[in-house]
Amino acid sequence: MGFSPKQIAEAVAAALALTALIAGVIDWRHRKRDNLDRVSLLDWRNIQVFALISAIIAAAVAFQL
pLDDT tens profile 14-55: 999 999 999 999 999 988 888 877 888 889 999 999 999 999
The whole model's pTM is what?
0.86
- The DSSP letter of residue 64 is H
Give the count of beta carbons closer than 10 Å to the beta carbon of residue 31. 10
The pLDDT value given to residue 59: 95
Q: Is the pLDDT of residue 1 over 80?
A: no
Are 30 and 41 spatial neighbours (Cβ–Cβ below 8 Å)? no
pLDDT (0 to 100) of residue 14: 97
* pLDDT at position 16: 97
CA distance 49 to 24: 9
